[in-house]
DNA sequence: CGGCTGACGACCT
DNA sequence: GAGGTCGCCAGCC
């Protein structure tokens, strides 16, 4: 079973604990820059919770527009959002709108240089 | 308390 | 590059 709002409704995942910490961290990523699930996890002090960072973003409600979730990609510099393809397309368009080039394969061009240092 | 599920990552073939 | 395996652990039944 994939993620569903039925089980992980906004009022259940937003607010307490982990998810909210992830959102606060993502909000620090400036326009034109990107970060990774692993970096966010490391910034939270738990390298191993990268998967949960992804899960937290998957559970991000539509009304949390202040959280730039589209700037979060995986450690290999690729877009990995699911949301049934449409979400991935939206992420791509938002990145391009910020001046970030994305290859046909979904890889962020010059990923290493656009990668935002969360610890700075 | 036990089991399940992953927007991941490191590593291997 | 393209697949597969395994470890990780918070939040939800």
Judge whether residue A111 contacts strand B, using its CB and a 7 Å cut-off. Answer: no
For the segment A55-94, what is each residue's pLDDT rounded down to a tens digit? 889 888 888 899 999 999 999 999 988 877 788 899 999 9
Instruction: Reply yes or no on whether the pLDDT at A12 is more than 80.
Output: no
Q: Does residue A14 have a pLDDT over 70?
A: no
Most distant CA pair in chain A, distance: 39
* CA dist., res. A39 & res. A11, Å (int): 26
CB within 7 A of strand B (chain A, 64-83):
69, 72, 74-76, 80-83
Model pTM score: 0.87
Q: What is the DSSP letter of A36?
A: E
């Amino acid at each position: 079973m994939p993620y569903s709002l039925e089980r992980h409704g906004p009022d259940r995942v937003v607010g307490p604990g982990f998810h909210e910490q992830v959102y606060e961290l993502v909000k620090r990523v400036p326009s034109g820059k990107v970060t990774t699930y692993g970096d966010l996890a490391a910034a939270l002090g738990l390298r191993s919770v990268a998967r949960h960072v992804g899960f937290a973003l998957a559970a991000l409600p539509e009304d949390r527009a202040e959280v730039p979730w589209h700037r979060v990609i995986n450690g290999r510099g690729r877009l990995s959002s699911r949301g049934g393809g449409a979400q991935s397309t939206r992420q791509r368009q938002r990145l391009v709108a910020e001046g970030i080039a994305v290859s046909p394969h979904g890889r962020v061009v010059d990923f290493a240089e656009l990668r935002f240092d969360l610890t700075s």
